Amino acid sequence: MKQEESPIGRIFVCVNEKAPEKAQCLKGEGEKCVLWLREEIKKRGLMREVWVTRTKCQSYCATDGTVITFEPTHKQYSSVLFKDVPGLLAEFLSEIDLKAESPS
């Protein structure tokens, strides 16, 4: 067994797809948010420090937007629209210690 290096921060974005009559984050631009976040993290040279992960349902479905959870800050937002994501990312990056060593 080998313990792998963990990132300092993780961003979980719901891209769940449900029955058409139910709220679903895929319709709420979840995938667009994932792609933008990954590209922005890459541009900032933070691919090892911050991971962006697609998820299924995070239990806070809304008819508009998606659900995004930030760790280790334990902040979860629902009804997130694509236009909200840059501000949420900036806030998150200011709250985590990117100089901290990841556990090995």
Q: Is 25 part of any domain?
A: yes
Q: Where are the alpha helices (DSSP H) in the chain?
A: 30-43, 85-95
Mean pLDDT of 72-79: 94
What is the rounded CA–CA span in Å between residue 68 and residue 82? 11
Q: Examine residue 51 and state whether it is found in any structural domain, yes or no.
A: yes
Q: Say whether 5 sits in a helix, a strand or coil.
A: coil
Q: Tell me whether residue 38 is in a domain.
A: yes
What's the pLDDT tens digit per position in 33-65?
999 999 999 999 999 999 999 998 888 877 788
C-alpha to C-alpha distance for 61 and 21, rounded to whole angstroms: 12
pTM of the model: 0.85
CA–CA separation, 76 vs 60, rounded Å?
A: 9
Q: What is the CATH number of the domain that holds 66?
A: 3.40.30.10
Look up the domain containing 81 and give its range: 9-93
Residue 2 lies in a domain: no
pLDDT for 22 = 64
